[in-house]
Structure 1
Amino acid sequence: MNGSSDLQKRREEIVINYFRMVDAGNPAVIDIFTDDAQMFYPKFGFAVGKSQIGAFAQGLGRGIASLEHEIDGFTVLSSGNYVIVEGAENGRTTSGVDFPDGVSSFGLFCNVFEFEGELIKRTHIYVDPDFANTHAEGVAWGKSVQDSIASM
């Protein structure tokens, strides 16, 4: 294995460790980011720097009692400074709602990580943030489309 392949493999390991730390609620996860890292999350927007990313994580944690990423089922792709992970997650909100519900929430996500050396410089998280399926009006059109497809 050459140096580039070794670094790519190490970055993939760092990303898997990121998910384990997130699931455990381990605040040390912030240590695998650069000081000026950027994070994007739907309905939240951007957090820049470790303090903003930490504040985002604390805010998200106030609504989620437990979270588990199904790491064994991940699809991990890497190229250059990027590692992309597609997978599924499940958990429970602090209001006691288990997710996903399999009706309009499916627990699927995709994260794009950009690295600087062995630290995460940027991560964009693509997931439906409506874990408890409380935004029914936002997806009401989906039900009517599903019904029409089912009748075909």
Structure 2
Amino acid sequence: MTDTAVKIDNVAIARDYFRLLDAKSPDMLSLFTPDFEFYYPKYGRGGGAEQLMDVVVGLSARVETMEHDVSDYLFVAEGDHVVVEGTTRGVLSNGDKWAAGETPCGRFCNVFTFRDGKIARVAVYLDPDYLNEAESAFLWGREGRQW
């Protein structure tokens, strides 16, 4: 397979990751190598299906639904890596909503590493304060900000 074909396949797998994540599908685990590693803010580094499910269960306690609209995402593929910059919107378990561009949270960047057509590592960089509880973190205030 050519380098270009591998990059195209890796981007397709990254797209599938977001689709299956939004669907809360256990099939998402089929995209990963058995020994995969991950990073998620406030959880830290982890590895394997059991620890990833810890993150999913923790998020599910706060997040009712989440949507990734990959149609306008930036995908940068190089070698075994795909970097994705994107946005989310969703509904929290308390009924509050968030949407990137309208609320302070919802923007993210994921860095994927692939091995043999599977995700071997993913690092997720985002602000997990979906409930906007970290008021003291708004060092420059909220007024006049574009989200």
Q: Return the TM-score normalized by structure 1.
A: 0.87
**Quick check: 1:90–1:107 contact (8 Å CA) kept in 2?**
yes
**Quick check: 2:81–2:112 contact (8 Å CA) kept in 1?**
yes
Q: Secondary structure at the match of 1:143?
A: coil
Offset at 1:61?
A: 1.6
Instruction: Tell me, in whole angstroms, the C-alpha distance in 1 between the residues paired with 2:46 and 2:87.
Output: 23
Which residue of structure 2 aligns with residue 63 of structure 1? 62
Q: Structure 2: which amino acid aligns with 1:61? A: S
Instruction: Tell me, in whole angstroms, the C-alpha distance in 2 between the residues paired with 1:136 and 1:103.
Output: 17
Which residue of structure 2 aligns with residue 122 of structure 1? 121
**Quick check: 2:41–2:127 contact (8 Å CA) kept in 1?**
yes
Offset at 1:5?
A: 1.4
**Quick check: 2:81–2:114 contact (8 Å CA) kept in 1?**
yes
How many positions carry a matched residue from both structures? 145
> Does the alignment pair 1:99 with 2:92?
no
Q: Which structure: larger Rg?
A: 1
Q: Return the TM-score normalized by structure 2.
A: 0.90
Which residue of structure 2 aligns with residue 31 of structure 1? 30
Offset at 1:8?
A: 1.2
Aligned-residue identity in percent: 29
Q: Structure 2: which amino acid aligns with 1:96? A: G
Deviating beyond 6 angstroms after TM superposition, the runs of 4 or more aligned structure 1 residues are: none
Which residue of structure 2 aligns with residue 143 of structure 1? 141
* Residue 76 to residue 101, structure 1, CA distance change in 2 (3 Å): closer
**Quick check: 1:34–1:50 contact (8 Å CA) kept in 2?**
no
Of Structure 1 and Structure 2, the greater helix share is in 1
**Quick check: 1:76–1:84 contact (8 Å CA) kept in 2?**
yes
